[in-house]
Structure 1
Amino acid sequence: MGIIGDSLDRAAAATFTRPMPASAGAQVRFLVKHEKGFTRVVAQRLGVSQRTVERYLTGQIKKPRPELAARLAAEVRRDWQPVVRRRARKQAATATGITVETRARFGFTAAPGTTDDGRIRLITQHLPPVYADRLFTAQEAGAGEQELQNIVAEGLQELYFKDGGRRANDLLVEFTDIDYLDTDYA
């Protein structure tokens, strides 16, 4: 996906109540069960042949190549504990919000006489449920990374830079060159 989408997925994974299957065989068995026994669908999701999936199921193959192991873990993470994930997202979108920690370049469009040169800043900011809801809704609708970035930028602009409307009312923030971004359900 992208930096923000991946960060939201990692935050959701942190809410899991049980550990994901660790071995490749257990992961493949989980995916096949999730896909109601269709090994062909699992093979397409992993980018391997149907026979390779069947070999993992029978135990003929036990250790996947590193790139396949990464895809396998990502696919299992995507489907693991959907009820827990939905419950945590609903809680964040309606009551608690999310915390965003980022190191990125922030530039400004502001009143004449102020500096608008972008510079790298490290910011940790709690965003209220309204921004969490907008992020989750956009992500589920298949929004691109730029749209997610705009939502986070608006939240940081309003809460961090404008201090909730107490200062710099005409300030517009540019959020670019993201070095890293991490989210957490607050």
Structure 2
Amino acid sequence: MSDHEQQQPAPRRGKVLEALTRAERKVFTRPVPKSANAQVKFLLTRAKESVRSLAERVGTSTRTIERYRAGKLKKPQKRLQAALVEATESEWQPQVRARAREQASTSSGMMVEVTAYFGFTCTGSSDDGRIRTITTPISPTYARQILDLQEAGATEEDLHPIVAEAITESYFTEWGTRADGLRADFTHVQTIEFMF
């Protein structure tokens, strides 16, 4: 078995978690290293030059990491390439990401654009649930809750109710000015994007 065949597939996350990750990465002010060699060198600085630690993180052997660092290997297989990209982007510009998260949590909030099935609970409601595309702001209070849950390792199922509450507040009840008591849930998320 070659070093490349020992690689583990990158873990899959739900659409909400992936959308939050994409939103953070859109705020980068410098380009992320693109080549496997540059990614390995960057990740080794983050891992305090621990080849073993990096190899375990991206699911390959220490020998493979050494060969990429030395420039002997250039083009990784898809699984290793995906793991290197994910690891590099998750470590890239932590201060820029932290500043964007702090601003969203305290002053500006964030925007969400989602296409999903929205169902409702409300006394006297005649609006049946259906697929909707909604673009709406999320208040800093809800932005903080969502980002805190993400940081704490929340699952997709943990995030859905809080995102639904945030959308209900801004879109369906217009910050509490109408449809008192309405509660919206969303399922079957087709697409979702967050913007800081």
TM-score (norm 1): 0.95
AA aligned opposite 1:27:
Q
| Inter-CA distance 148–61: structure 2 relative to 1 (3 Å threshold) | same
AA aligned opposite 1:180:
T
| Inter-CA distance 113–59: structure 2 relative to 1 (3 Å threshold) | closer
The answer to whether the aligner puts 1:37 opposite 2:49 as a matched pair is yes
- SS of corresponding position for 1:76: helix
Q: Which residue of 2 aligns with 1:173?
A: 184
Q: Which residue of 2 aligns with 1:81?
A: 93
The answer to whether the aligner puts 1:137 opposite 2:148 as a matched pair is yes
AA aligned opposite 2:79:
E
RMSD: 1.1
The answer to whether the aligner puts 1:152 opposite 2:163 as a matched pair is yes
Cα distance per residue 1:66-87 (max 9 Å; x no partner) = 2211111011000001111111
Q: Structure 1, unaligned stretches of length 5 or more?
A: none
Cα distance per residue 1:101-152 (max 9 Å; x no partner) = 000000111224624x320000000111111111111111111111211111
Q: Measure the CA separation in 2 of the matches of 1:29 and 1:137.
A: 30
Report matched runs for 1:59-138 at 5 Å.
59-112=71-124, 114-115=126-127, 117-138=128-149
AA aligned opposite 2:95:
V
- SS of corresponding position for 1:108: strand
1:14: Cα distance to partner?
0.8
Q: What is the number of residues matched between the two proteins? A: 184
Cα distance per residue 1:150-184 (max 9 Å; x no partner) = 11100111111111112111211121110011000
Moved over 6 A (4+): none
Q: Measure the CA separation in 1 of the matches of 2:125 and 2:106.
A: 40
Which region of structure 1 is more displaced relative to structure 2, 119-128 or 2-11?
2-11
Q: What is the aligned-residue identity percentage?
A: 45
Q: Measure the CA separation in 1 of the matches of 2:125 and 2:27.
A: 46
